[in-house]
Amino acid sequence: MKIYLNGKYVTDHQAALEYNDRGFLLSDGIFETMRSYEGQIFGFEDHYERFNQSAHYLGIPLTPTFHEFKEIIDQLLKENELDKKDASFRVTLTRGTGPRGLIPPENVNPTLMMTAFPFESTIPKPARVMISSIRRNEFSPLSNIKSLCYLDNVIARRDANKKGLDDCIFLNTKGNVACATAANIFMVVDKGIVTPKIEEGILPGITRKMIINLCKSNNISIFEETITENELLRAKEIFFTNRLIEIQPVVQINSILINEGEVGEMVLWLQKFYQKLHVSL
């Protein structure tokens, strides 16, 4: 397996991070997870824009331009013989090495790493989930950024898995619905489809954005709003979205069945239309 690390394509055995990388010591960095279909990166402009904005907010220089960035990914796919296949890849950017303590070095020399994997599209199985006792912190700007600060999500997923469940749903600290451990959430109600607004402390997901646009261009009413826990539990259908699972139906929350435990019609329709987006690449 070949990895891109700071300008070089190296094998996974050669790829070495420095002991004092602030990504490792302080979660001082960001990442993106993307997919490509036969070498074509899906939604690359949106991913690059979010990544660039997050880097800018954190003050981490993102040296490659849009086109250079895309060239690196194209080359990485080639190096791994994934340019004719479907792949997923992760881009990680950190503030690089630094001295002891929180304060960044004056001259930041960022770490940029990319890894790629073969990825077969499968229809995700219906999820049975719980409401997590951990809350999403809408008072932190990181709630809107795909940062390396991911341990809450790791713990919450583990706790759900321990109970035999697939995932969990975070409420924010006000008790409103936020997201899953690595996905946005949508619900289908009488008036249309509803997803929490960004201000509730959620990641502005790229797949979330595509679903919103898909609904708008097909005259399906879609709302970005506050969702209470009670509203969610009374929804007709619920689904998660992210780059890898795409659209995953949720059929159970705690002991409550959603849509009588069956995958709903709206989810099936969305899955079908979403599929066409990347087939048409």
Q: Which residues bind a copy of itself (CB under 8 A)?
A: 3, 5, 12, 15-21, 23-28, 31, 58-59, 88, 90, 92, 94, 100, 102-104, 113, 115, 117, 133-135, 137, 139-142, 147-155, 157-158, 161, 173, 181-182
CB of residue 125 vs a copy of itself: minimum separation in angstroms? Answer: 15
Q: Are 143 and 204 in contact (CB under 8 A)?
A: no
Please state the closest distance from residue 72 (CB atom) to a copy of itself, in A. 16
Strand partners, 242: 246
* Helix or strand holding residue 192 (H, E): strand 192-196
Strand-by-strand arrangement of the 87-94 sheet: 8-11, 2-5, 111-118, 87-94, 29-37, 40-41
Residue number, 94 or 252, with CB nearest to a copy of itself: 94
The interaxial angle of helices 66-79 and 44-58, nearest 10 deg, is 120
Q: State which residue, 189 or 244, has the beta carbon closest to a copy of itself.
A: 244
Q: Which is nearer to a copy of itself, 56 or 90 (CB)?
A: 90
Torsion angles phi and psi, residue 225, rounded to 5: -145, 170
Residue 25 or 189 with smaller CB distance to a copy of itself: 25
Q: In the complex, what is the shortest distance from the CB of residue 57 to a copy of itself, in angstroms, rounded to a whole number?
A: 9
What span, in angstroms and rounded, lies between the C-alpha atoms of 236 and 189?
Answer: 6
Spell out a b/e string for 77-86, using b for 16 or more CB atoms within 10 Å of the CB, else e: bebbebbeeb
Which lies closer to a copy of itself via its Cβ, residue 87 or residue 194? 87
Q: How far is the CB of 190 from a copy of itself (least distance, A)?
A: 31
**Shortest distance in whole angstroms from residue 129 CB to a copy of itself:** 14
